[in-house]
């Protein structure tokens, strides 16, 4: 199989990428088709659909795999079979993601502007298929150990972080992107509650440094500083 294109997104690294599509709605991404698939004829009629399935390769994951994995939703300790998970460590490293189609640019080649994308920049995409809600949306389906969306943490910005955002033309959208990503607590699943360690997640062209705090018996995330990456 040959990639038909690649992703350019707000996520330079895999750390901090939402664990499922749609959880960071403001995350910007584009799928750039490559020759010979960048012929506008290949996407004729696609504008009539609001969402797409993308089949892609987990290109940052090692080729090795194991029969058992530790899903984050089970705390990072309990194990399930690899085929009972959405782990990136899979025999063929194939991924499937449901994204929103915001626009199609055919001015020079083909670019698909996407919303709610959970893919790292550079991700090779193998195929695109339109999403059909009447057959593929099953609200009565069982979701095993992940029956609902994960709970979100409060995100607080330090004065220094707010000052940095105020100087950027994309400050408003970057602030919301940071909030949506950090509210999902991108730390390893076994990390719980407050800790002194300072973490860093790269978003767009910055390194967002944050830590977990405990207030009123609840965990929250504080953005300590935002620096150029």
**Could you tell me what percent of the chain has a pLDDT over 90?**
77
Name the band, by pLDDT with cuts 50, 70 and 90, for residue 123: very high
What does the pLDDT read at residue 188? 86
pLDDT at 134 over 90: yes
Asked if residue 56 lies in contact with residue 119, where contact means CB atoms within 8 angstroms, the answer is yes
What does the pLDDT read at residue 171? 96
Asked if residue 35 lies in contact with residue 4, where contact means CB atoms within 8 angstroms, the answer is no
Neighbours of 42 (CB within 10 A): 14
Residues 77 and 107: their CA atoms lie apart, in Å, by 49
- Does CATH number 1.10.540.10 belong to domain 5-136? no
- Domain ranges across the chain: 5-136, 154-228
pLDDT at 182 over 90: yes
The residues near 27 (Cβ < 8 Å, ≥ 6 apart) are 9, 10, 11, 18, 115, 116, 117, 118, 177, 180, 181
User: 33-59 pLDDT, tens per residue?
Assistant: 999 999 999 999 999 999 999 999 999
pLDDT at 227 over 90: yes
Name the band, by pLDDT with cuts 50, 70 and 90, for residue 63: confident
What does the pLDDT read at residue 20? 85
Residues 163 and 172: their CA atoms lie apart, in Å, by 12
Instruction: Report the relative pairing of strands 206-215 and 199-203 from DSSP bridges.
Output: antiparallel
**Superfamily of domain 154-228 in the CATH hierarchy:** RelE-like (3.30.2310.20)
What does the pLDDT read at residue 31? 98
């Amino acid at each position: 199989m040959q990639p038909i294109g690649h992703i350019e997104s707000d996520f330079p690294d895999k750390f901090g990428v939402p664990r499922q599509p749609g959880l960071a709605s403001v995350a910007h991404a584009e799928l750039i088709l490559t020759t010979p698939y960048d012929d506008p004829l290949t996407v004729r009629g696609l504008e009539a659909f609001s969402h797409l399935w993308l089949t892609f390769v987990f290109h940052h994951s090692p080729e090795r795999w194991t029969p058992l994995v530790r899903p984050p939703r089970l705390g990072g300790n309990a194990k399930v079979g690899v085929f009972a998970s959405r782990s990136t460590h899979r025999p063929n490293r194939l991924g499937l993601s449901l994204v929103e189609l915001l626009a199609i640019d055919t001015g020079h080649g083909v670019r698909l502007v996407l919303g709610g994308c959970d893919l790292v920049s550079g991700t090779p995409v193998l195929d695109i298929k339109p999403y059909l809600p009447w057959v593929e949306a099953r609200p009565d389906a069982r979701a095993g150990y992940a029956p609902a969306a994960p709970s979100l943490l409060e995100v607080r910005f330090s004065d220094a972080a707010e000052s940095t955002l105020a100087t950027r033309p994309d400050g408003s959208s970057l602030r919301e992107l940071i909030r949506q990503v950090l509210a999902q607590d991108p730390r390893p699943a076994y990390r719980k509650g407050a800790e002194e360690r300072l973490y860093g997640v790269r978003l767009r062209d910055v390194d967002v440094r944050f830590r977990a705090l405990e207030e009123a018996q609840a965990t929250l995330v504080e953005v300590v500083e935002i620096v150029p990456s």
